């Protein structure tokens, strides 16, 4: 049953409503947009480092359908491992990948342990998941041993206007540590021991504010739901008059979805000062040097 909005943490709704997306996979324009922008970064990393195998750990954090962030890699023929610490969520993730006929290896594992062999994958990465850890330093040490080539970390942009508004006006869930998304800490923790920062930047810079919920739900909370009747464009509706999901893109039911969504990417090339204020996420790419 879908949770009432009053029961959902406003700062990070996915903590409470992740099950809803497995029943109704429509994530909303915002999450679809950040997924397609993320795919562009994947492509850059793959071109530079020729990635053959990927471990996403932890995999929980992005608004929307849990455990599908690495579908792009699987679609490119890469070996993919997805780790999550919730058995019920892992079972739902398995079904989603199976229904799409994408290959991957699901792992039920605690976020901190990373029980994998040294050098077992080319890339270790996660998205908006670092703040769930208990000990970032220990996680980084493990990631450095496991990854052969690259560690890719994406976190919320903690200096962005949207983030700052949420931080100061909303209740911070006890499950997260806001210190773990600070760029200085991330660079100090993952740099060293044979690894260096290769690239960093702000991404996910759409023309809408950084609110971690569907725009539909946001408008409902603001009692502006009537705007949906005029703002829902045909590009977001499938042939059955239901909202299109990112799963429709990966199943090739809606291959044009990427082009339709990325019409909103004109702010991604704006100057860094603007992106620091408006951008939603910060990324860091570390590469092995020995």
Q: Domain range for residue 98?
A: 5-288
pLDDT string in tens for the chain (290-residue length):
455 444 568 899 999 999 999 999 999 889 999 999 999 999 999 999 999 999 999 999 999 999 999 999 999 999 999 999 999 999 999 999 999 999 999 999 876 667 788 899 999 999 999 999 999 999 999 999 999 999 999 999 999 999 999 999 999 999 999 999 999 999 999 999 999 999 999 999 998 888 766 665 665 666 655 544 534 444 444 444 456 899 999 999 999 999 999 999 999 999 999 999 999 999 999 999 97
Q: Are 109 and 87 in contact (CB under 8 A)?
A: no
How far apart CA 67 and CA 84 sit, in angstroms, is 8
- pLDDT score, position 277: 97
How far CA 252 is from CA of 39, 72, 100, 194, 265, in Å, comes to 16, 13, 10, 41, 22
Q: Are 101 and 75 in contact (CB under 8 A)?
A: no
How far CA 94 is from CA of 103, 105, 142, 267, 289, in Å, comes to 10, 9, 25, 35, 35
SS (H, E, C) the chain: CCCCHHHCCCCCCHHHHHHHHHHCCCCCHHHHHHHHHHHHHHHHHHHHHCCCEEEECCCCCCCCCCCCCCHHHHHCCCEEEEEECCHHHHHHHHHHHHHHCCCCEEEECCCCCCCCCCCCEEEEEEECCHHHCCCHHHHHHHHHHHEEEEEEEEEECCCCHHHHHHHHHCCCCCCCCHHHHCHHHHHHHHCCCCEEEEEEEEECCCCCCCCCCCHHHHHHHCCCHHHHHHHCCHHHECCCCCECCHHHHHCCCCCCHHHHHHHHHHHCCCCHHHHHHHCCEEEEEEEECC
Element (H, E) at 153: strand 147-156
The residues, ordered by sequence, that sit 6+ positions from 112 with a Cβ below 8 Å of its Cβ are: 133, 134, 135, 138, 139
CATH number reported for the structural domain that contains residue 180 in this entry: 3.40.50.150
Query: What's the whole-model pTM score?
Result: 0.91
Please state the domain count of the chain. 1
DSSP 288: E
Beta-bridged to residue 124, according to DSSP, are 55, 151
């Amino acid at each position: 049953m879908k949770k009432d909005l009053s029961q959902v943490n406003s700062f990070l709704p996915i903590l409470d409503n992740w099950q809803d997306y497995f029943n109704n996979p429509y994530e909303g324009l915002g999450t679809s947009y950040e997924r397609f922008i993320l795919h562009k970064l994947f492509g850059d990393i793959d071109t530079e480092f020729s990635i053959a195998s990927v471990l996403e750990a932890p995999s929980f954090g992005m608004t929307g359908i849990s455990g599908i962030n690495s579908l792009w890699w699987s679609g490119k023929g890469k070996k993919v491992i997805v780790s999550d610490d919730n058995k019920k969520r892992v079972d739902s993730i398995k079904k989603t990948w199976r229904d799409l006929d994408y290959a991957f290896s699901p792992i039920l594992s605690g976020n901190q342990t990373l029980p994998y062999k040294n050098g077992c994958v080319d890339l270790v990465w996660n998205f908006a998941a670092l703040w769930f850890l208990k000990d970032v330093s220990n996680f980084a040490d493990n990631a450095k041993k496991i990854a052969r080539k690259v560690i890719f970390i994406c976190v919320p942009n903690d200096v962005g206007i949207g983030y700052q508004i949420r931080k100061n006006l909303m209740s911070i869930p006890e499950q997260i540590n806001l210190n773990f998304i600070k760029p200085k800490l991330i660079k100090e923790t993952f740099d060293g021991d044979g690894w260096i920062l290769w690239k960093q930047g702000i991404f996910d810079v759409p023309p809408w504010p950084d609110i971690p919920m569907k725009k539909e739900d946001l408008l409902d909370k603001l009692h502006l739901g009537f705007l949906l009747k005029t703002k829902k464009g045909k590009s977001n509706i499938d042939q059955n008059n239901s909202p299109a999901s990112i799963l429709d893109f990966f199943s090739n039911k809606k291959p044009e979805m990427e082009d339709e969504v990325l019409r909103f990417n004109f702010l991604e090339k704006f100057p860094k000062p603007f992106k620091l204020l408006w951008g939603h996420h910060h990324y860091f790419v570390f590469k092995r040097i020995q």
